[in-house]
Amino acid sequence: MSQPSVILATASYDHTIRFWEAQTGRCYRNIQYPDSQVNRLEITPDKRYLAAAGNPHIRLFDINSSNPQPVMSYDSHTNNVMAVGFPSNGNWMYSGSEDGTVKIWDLRAPGCQREYESRAAVNTVVLHPNQTELISGDQNGNIRVWDLTANSCSCELVPEVDTAVRSLTVMFDGTLVVAANNNGTCFVWRLLSGTQTMTNFEPLHRLQAHKGYILKCLLSPEYCEPNRFVPSE
């Protein structure tokens, strides 16, 4: 089965996942997803697998196959999975759920390898470019940094009390992080660290960006060197 060089995938509340040729608009593959809606899609860096985050599971599909069944299912979340992603080497997967946890998964095994308790529904999780820290935002307004090397929470802040953090994004070089919340506010911090991990958030801006919920914030990528991480001084 020949695949296009650019993979376009969509998912919906209609319980389907569809693959498209981005240039022609032709749909070349449909996958039925009967168990729930799909909250999030993510493609592995090598374009081999598609992760579909549902309620309460994550299913991994082989992109280069016509098999409609997932090659792996990850089932230890107990509520909607709202975030899923991969490191640059694609060896493992992270997720965040409304069950209040952030989890780490080995793609070669179905079980959860690590679990971090956020104590509130997790809406967003991003991986720092250093590949050793996850940043999560939850329904109670908490932002937490999970140090994967130390296996613990290394930093915690609440930019606006009892206001859900809806989206997080990190600059490609690890120098900035932005959070967006349910009050339409964007917070911009500079990340200060002298090592390969980040330790301090220096406030730069508080932007009243919108009048209602912000569903997504995004910093532009670096196209020339997408995996480059330069620690700030």
Q: Are residues 145 and 204 in the same domain?
A: yes
Interval 73-97 mean pLDDT: 97
Q: What is the DSSP string of the chain?
A: ----SSEEEEE-TTSEEEEEETTT--EEEEEE-TTS---EEEE-TTS-EEEEE-SS-EEEEETTS---S-SEEE----S-EEEEE--TT-SEEEEEETTSEEEEEETTSSSEEEEEE-SS-EEEEEE-TTSSEEEEEETTS-EEEEETTTTEEEEEE-SSTT--EEEEEE-TTSSEEEEEETTSEEEEEEEE-SSSS--EEEEEEEEE--SS------PPP-SSSTT------
The confidence score (pLDDT) of residue 167 equals 98
pLDDT at 233 over 70: no
Could you give the CA distance from residue 229 to residue 24 in angstroms, rounded to a whole number? 36
Q: Are residues 131 and 71 in the same domain?
A: no
Between 185 and 229, the higher pLDDT residue: 185
Structure tokens at 147: 């140090």
Q: Are residues 162 and 60 in the same domain?
A: no
Residue 143 falls within a domain, yes or no? yes
- The count of domains in the chain is 2
In which domain, by residue range, is 18 found? 1-88
Q: Are residues 59 and 12 in the same domain?
A: yes
Reported as a single tens digit per residue, the pLDDT across 7-17 is: 999 999 999 99
Banded model confidence at residue 154, pLDDT cuts 50, 70, 90: very high
pLDDT at 224 over 50: no
pTM recorded for the entire structure: 0.90
Banded model confidence at residue 128, pLDDT cuts 50, 70, 90: very high
Tell me the average pLDDT of the chain: 91
Could you give the CA distance from residue 27 to residue 77 in angstroms, rounded to a whole number? 31
Q: Are residues 122 and 233 in the same domain?
A: yes
Residue 104 falls within a domain, yes or no? no
pLDDT at 104 over 90: yes
Q: Are residues 41 and 127 in the same domain?
A: no
